[in-house]
Amino acid sequence: MLTENWASLSPREKFEERFKSWMNPPGVEFATPEARQAYQERTQNLKDAVELKKPGRVPICPFIGFFPANYAGITAEEAMYDYEKLGMAWTKYHQDFQPDSLASSFMIGPAPIFEKLDYRMYRWPGHGTPAHTPYQFIEAEYMTEDEYDLLINDPSGFWMRRYLPRVFGVLKAWEGLPPLTDIVELPFVGACVIPYGIPDIQESFKTLLEAGNMALEWIGAIGAIDGGVTATLGIPPVLAGFCKAPFDYLADTLRGTQPIMLDMYRRPEKLLKALEVMIPLNIDLGVRTATQNNAPFVFMPLHKGADGFMSDRDFARFYWPSLKAVLLGLIEEGLVPYVFVEGGYNTRLEYLADPDLPEGSIVFMFDTTDMEAVKKTLGGKQCFGGNVPGSLFRTGSPAQVEEYVKNLLEKVGQDGGFILSTGTVIDEADPEAFKAMFEAGRKYGTY
Amino acid sequence: MTEKLVEAIVGMREKEAIGLAREALEAGTEPMEVMESCRRAVEEVGKRYEEGEYFLPELMLTGQMLTQISELAKDRLSTAGAEEKRLGRVLIGTVKGDIHDIGKNVVAFMLDSNGFEVKDLGVDVPPERFVEAAREFKPQVVGMSALLTLAFDPMKETVQAFEEAGLRDQVKIMIGGAPVNEQIKEYTGADAWGKDAVEAVSLAKKWVGGV
């Protein structure tokens, strides 16, 4: 996808190139002319929304979790273990609901591989949670308070020798691996490969190789499922790239909520330094994943900067600067950060409207934030959307959902630059009530 | 000493607070007096949280300071301490199938700092454990927490379990968590819902006949 003169292109030219490639995807053979046309309409509508124009129709791009499994009558456990059932369920969801963005089966994860590696950071159905319950994160200090310097000086080394041995039982022996950067000059080479002769380290690599084979099988299945949905229904992949706000990267994955909040008082300088180190890592992660998957969007779910987590002073010091740097880094590469602002952001909206962020370059999707305030602050500056509450699909009637969507579109969607979506990731929903969101979007979402 | 200790805790100066408490205890101050300063500090921290000046980092650091000071004071406590007068008892937990605990912990902290005796059952608590614990602990209020939309059914089942056990009219049930709202309150059969820890405290106070 990247053109030969990539390095000499401006951010806006890169943006155009990425959209061009996404809208005319090489290697996708559409099953019918209708599918091709639907794909082009959908991608054009999304591009228009990003560019703050009025698209042909408002894009309808819900956040989807395990809903397709529940809808198709399979368990979450089956979705994670049986790729055939996964494909059946995910295809059925797209056929019956016709969303404007792909709900990738990738997100469900290959549980056989998690078992193989003895993954300890999550519980998943059949492995700590009931068969119908999606996977859940186990919060713990996967990095201890005295390991900041290790992380700051050598993130990959920290990952290899501390983090991975903690979260994967079979990689426990990697604690004993020397840093790869020890390998310099002839006399040291022999010594540096000695650990790879030790039985339990050899065993860990053998298991990893087997997991690698399983991963190829899995990605083949995923590619066929997602590719099939795109080719037959013309539904584009949108959330194809991924990275995180540096604070969340540290807080969710490494330190845990309570420890990182204590770090803000006990070792603020170390924390700030680590956040700085996480900036290029996350930009690189976002750029690589979006480029590999040939889509211009990078999905970024925001967690611990929401209203109520920390004071405005701490948000301005610990959360926002590194997040802003990642956003700018992605925009520089022609990518559109697709930011899922989970929880409420009523006290943070001004930050999102930062004049350093070029207009029409980010998508902000909201959960419980007051949408009229969003419209007032971000309208005409950045594309936004979201907000239809997940609980409404459990407790509301289709008519109530229709009313909600109609009202939302009238109040904040009328000027374009808007994406209709759910405020939360949907696992369980009454199908009729959920469908009403799509129907209302198609009925009232034309400009 | 006492004012300085209160100020150090409320000002989030951890080292100073621990140092002051240690000095005081070593100088022979009654452990109960030190703990009384802590109680006053916690009250003030809770107030600032309610007023939107303090947030999770401050609550968590206060909790840490308290744990350390109680450790220091524990060894010197001569008597078990007169039974503290509490406003009432609240049983709390995150419901079955959900392992999120931050919101629940904040609610427990705020209830405690507002004078309630709180029993925290932790996360992933099945309905029968709520009921068993209620039989023993005899709370006036039961609080259920959830972050996942999937937890609505377990909440409903827990309310039903209280009914089946014949305890429903002896407790008031409140629910909370990001996806909870008025419809979910209706759906689960709880008595009330709250959007944050401050609302949880005012509900509990209302129910036990407090302020």
Contact A55, A46 (CB under 8 A): yes
The residue range of the domain holding B14 is 2-74
Clarify whether residues B106 and B177 are in a common domain. yes
Contact B14 A266 (CB under 8 A): yes
How many CB atoms within 10 Å of residue A366? Answer: 27
Helix locations, A234-300, DSSP H: 246-248, 257-266, 268-292
Residues of chain A found within 8 Å of residue B53, distances taken between Cβ atoms: 311
B82 domain-assigned: no
Q: For chain B, say whether A187 makes contact (Cβ under 8 Å).
A: no
Clarify whether residues B59 and B96 are in a common domain. no
pLDDT of the residue at A304: 95
Domains assigned to chain A: 6-61+238-444 (3.20.20.210)
Domain of residue B7, CATH code: 1.10.1240.10
Residues of chain B found within 8 Å of residue A389, distances taken between Cβ atoms: 179, 181
Q: How confident is the model at residue B1 (pLDDT cuts 50, 70, 90)?
A: low
Clarify whether residues B41 and B103 are in a common domain. no
Contact A264 B12 (CB under 8 A): no
Question: Best mutation site among A303, A394, A401 for testing chain B: the one with the most B CBs within 10 Å?
Answer: A394
Q: Tens of pLDDT along A83-120?
A: 999 999 999 999 999 999 999 999 999 999 999 999 99
The C-alpha angle A428, A248, A139, rounded to 5 degrees, equals 65
Beta-strand pair A363-366/A383-386: parallel
Contact B179 A389 (CB under 8 A): yes
Domain of residue B167, CATH code: 3.40.50.280
Clarify whether residues B136 and B163 are in a common domain. yes
pLDDT higher than threshold 70 for residue B82: no
Clarify whether residues B194 and B170 are in a common domain. yes
Clarify whether residues B65 and B99 are in a common domain. no
Nearest to B201 by CA among B57, B94, B85, B43: B43
Clarify whether residues B128 and B194 are in a common domain. yes
Closest Cα of chain A to B97: distance in Å? 7
SS3 A394: helix
Nearest to A401 by CA among A420, A425, A414, A418: A420
pLDDT of the residue at B80: 47
Clarify whether residues B124 and B150 are in a common domain. yes
Contact A428 B149 (CB under 8 A): yes
Q: Which amino acid is at A336?
A: V
Task: State how many domains chain B has.
Answer: 2
Helix/strand/coil (H/E/C) assignment for every residue in B2-58: HHHHHHHHHCCCHHHHHHHHHHHHHCCCCHHHHHHHHHHHHHHHHHHHHCCCCCHHH
Contact B149 A309 (CB under 8 A): no
pTM (two decimals):
0.90
Clarify whether residues B171 and B108 are in a common domain. yes
Clarify whether residues B95 and B66 are in a common domain. no
Q: Tens of pLDDT along A289-332?
A: 999 999 999 999 999 999 989 999 999 999 999 999 999 999 99
DSSP A9: S
ipTM above 0.95, yes or no: no
Clarify whether residues B10 and B63 are in a common domain. yes
SS3 A135: coil
How far is A174 from A162, CA to CA, in rounded Å? 8
Clarify whether residues B123 and B182 are in a common domain. yes
Interface of A with B in 102-161 (CB under 8 A): 123, 129-130, 132-134, 136-139
What distance, in Å, lies between the first and last C-alpha atoms of chain A?
A: 32
